[in-house]
Structure 1
Amino acid sequence: MEPAIILVRPQMGENIGAAARAMLNFGLTDMRLVAPRDGWPNPKAVAMASGAAGRVLDQARVYPTLAEAMADIDYAYATTARGRELTKPVLTPATAMADARERTSQGERIAMIFGPERAGLENDDVARANAIITVPVNPDFPSLNLAQAVLLTGYEWSRDSLPAQPAPQGRRPDGEATATRIEIEKLADHWEERLDEAGFFFPTEKAPAMKLTLRNLWSRMPLTRADTRIFHGMLRQLIRRD
């Protein structure tokens, strides 16, 4: 069961929308809003959520008080950068979310609580939580915006289910397919042949090392199929001009 993300007295619709995007990045959809300053629904939140994250806002529930938003919660973490006189466990996002995953596996319902943008959670809010999450950031500038804080905890919550490395991309962001190994080999052969004819590999005893260096250069370049066509075309045009 996924944790609930509770935003207490959020002030700007744009920040609520950005938090929704951060949530959906890591598969979180249970957003709860406590007394949003500008009311609800908020068109600025929808505009910022952009696309699929809008469904997080569509499902968001609004409560007048934090106590009501937490009615079904067994264990809650309050996020704050400020020191508190309250005696509670203080955890990093990584430690807190490891604990949260363990509690969830035992059937507990978990929530992460985030305060309003300007001043964060009040002591009365923090008192309702079981533990505190504090991000170990630069002590001279410890402030995080709302979406950043949600993103950090969302990432730590999901990290065990994320791949160890990003998945290889078959296409570039612009949609162009990555060149295949054979296409790069043919490109390397084409250039080597023409450079050899032009006397580029000189002196003779250094030719093997030069060819190896050039072959390595082609293989490590992240070329698309369009790139290989351009390089072939450049070389053909140079030869025609000769």
Structure 2
Amino acid sequence: MPMKPVIILVRPQMGENIGAAARAMLNFGLTEMRLVAPRDGWPNPKAVAMASGAAGKVLDHARVYPTLAEAMEGIDYAFATTARGRELTKPVFTPATAMEKARSHDGRCAILFGPERAGLENEDVARANAIVTVPVNPDFPSLNLAQAVLLMGYEYGRDTLPPEPSPHHKRAESEVLADRIEIEKLGDHYEERLEGAGFFFPEEKAANMKLNLRNMWARLALTRSDVRMLHGILRQLTRR
């Protein structure tokens, strides 16, 4: 398995954003964070408060460096996330393409994120192998730091994610589909009351009308709660 990317936050300004970035990382199994000259020093209690719970472990093991050059220790391929820096001659990828390359890379990758106010400077981008730019609204291309980390983490982990989210809670009765006996009894109830109301008319069409009604009940993905409500509606309508 390839080594997971290192997340490098270059001159981050707010502790809250560092903590939120740690949470975003852990959502997708990324655990190595490096900080370059955080503005408010390190450790930062606001970052810890924002990380909340398990993501605090990411912060506990975060390493701090005075310069980006030093933070690139052990990295052999780096992606710079920026909407700028196009004047530098580098390949430019979308997050999906960049993280596909990261998954297949044999060495150690890093993803660089710039400070909140203005992002990475050209001097930072120059130290990366490639640029990652998110295809967003050109009139407002700026992403929040944690949002950018979350997006890259998602794209890196998407091949290992389940195709559909699995529920972690016991389904309420309102979510449980009715079984065929419950649907059959509902059909009987409606057929009986509609028969009494003279709905199946003329007589030569009655059998086909009843068949279509049964077919309709079978097509609907009714829950047990739906069935109870439909019984109640019919009882109320025919009470007199």
**TM-score where L is the length of structure 2:** 0.83
Q: Which residue of structure 2 lines up, in the alignment, with residue 176 of structure 1?
A: 172
Query: Residues 168 and 236 of structure 1: is their aligned pair in 2 closer, same or farther, counting only changes over 3 Å?
Result: farther
Query: Residues 70 and 41 of structure 1: is their aligned pair in 2 closer, same or farther, counting only changes over 3 Å?
Result: same
Pairing of 1:124-203 with structure 2 (within 5 A): 124-163=123-162, 165-169=163-167, 171=169, 176=172, 178-179=175-176, 183-199=178-194, 202-203=200-201
The alpha-carbon deviation at position 230 of structure 1 amounts to 5.2
Q: 1:47 and 1:236 mapped to 2: Cα distance?
A: 54
The alpha-carbon deviation at position 133 of structure 1 amounts to 0.8
Q: Deviations over 1:101-136 (max 9, x none)?
A: 222xx2x11100000111000111111111111112
Give the ranges of 4+ consecutive aligned residues of structure 1 lying more than 6 Å apart after TM superposition. none
Q: 1:3 and 1:45 mapped to 2: Cα distance?
A: 21
Letter in 2 for 1:29: T
1:199 partner SS: helix
Query: Residues 41 and 232 of structure 1: is their aligned pair in 2 closer, same or farther, counting only changes over 3 Å?
Result: farther
Which of 1 and 2 has greater Rg? 2
Does structure 1 retain, via aligned residues, the 8 Å contact 2:10–2:68? yes
Does structure 2 retain, via aligned residues, the 8 Å contact 1:190–1:232? no
Does structure 2 retain, via aligned residues, the 8 Å contact 1:117–1:145? yes
2:154 partner SS: helix
Segments of structure 1 that go 5 or more residues without pairing to the other structure are none
Of the structure 1 ranges 27-36 and 189-198, higher mean CA displacement relative to structure 2 is found in 189-198
Segments of structure 2 that go 5 or more residues without pairing to the other structure are none
Query: Residues 38 and 237 of structure 1: is their aligned pair in 2 closer, same or farther, counting only changes over 3 Å?
Result: farther
**TM-score where L is the length of structure 1:** 0.83
Q: 1:55 and 1:240 mapped to 2: Cα distance?
A: 63
RMSD of aligned residue pairs (Cα, Å): 2.6
Pairing of 1:1-242 with structure 2 (within 5 A): 1-103=3-105, 106=106, 108-163=107-162, 165-169=163-167, 171=169, 176=172, 178-179=175-176, 183-199=178-194, 202-203=200-201, 204=206, 205-217=208-220, 219=221, 221=222, 223=223, 227=225, 231=229, 234=232, 238=236
The alpha-carbon deviation at position 94 of structure 1 amounts to 1.6
Equivalent pairs, count:
229
| Identity rate, percent | 62
